[in-house]
Structure 1
């Protein structure tokens, strides 16, 4: 059951990224920061949906390291945007 959830979550994140890319191309606004933030939201939702109640598979542990790195990068993006606003 867990392996099925893992593949469904991966497929869901891939579909989510394709939808984001489609709308970014459609609006002629290819912004890597927006793409990254929306990817982070999608991956956080996927991890919450596939997280089993009583066991912690090894792939989730490694995925949580990727999420922690993503949250740190998100903080850097937010700090950069705040500095841009304060300097203008």
Structure 2
């Protein structure tokens, strides 16, 4: 059974992502890469804002794996964007 803190964590992340979809759609810049990056930023903020003071629950010990995967995907996105900006033939 999910704890109250875990449900708060999940609700905060879902609220952040729904707000992102609404704001990005309203601004006309709803792109998957931008949504992912801003969702990752929100995920990191939710982790910090809901961090326990004394005891770390078991479910929170798995979060660094999600952070690592998110940062790897973020790195791939950054490299792809940099390669789009560079003129052709720079690496060839």
Fold shared, TM-score > 0.5 on shorter chain:
yes
Name the residue aligned to 2:37: 37
Name the residue aligned to 2:75: 75
TM-score (norm. length: structure 2)? 0.80
Name the residue aligned to 1:60: 60
For structure 2, list consecutive stretches of 5 or more residues without a partner in the other structure.
Answer: none
Q: Which has the larger radius of gyration?
A: 2
For structure 1, list consecutive stretches of 5 or more residues without a partner in the other structure.
Answer: none
**What is the CA RMSD across the aligned residues, in angstroms?**
1.6
Give the number of the structure whose residues are more often helix, by fraction: 1
Question: SS state of the match for residue 19, structure 1?
Answer: helix
Shift of 1:8: 1.8
Aligned length: 86
Using the alignment, how far apart are the partners of 1:8 and 1:44 within structure 2?
15
Using the alignment, how far apart are the partners of 1:80 and 1:87 within structure 2?
13
Conservation of the 8 A alpha-carbon contact between 1:12 and 1:46? yes
Q: What stretches of structure 1 move > 3 A for 4+ residues in a row?
A: none
Q: Report which structure shows greater RCO (CA 8 Å, sep ≥6).
A: 1
TM-score (norm. length: structure 1)? 0.84
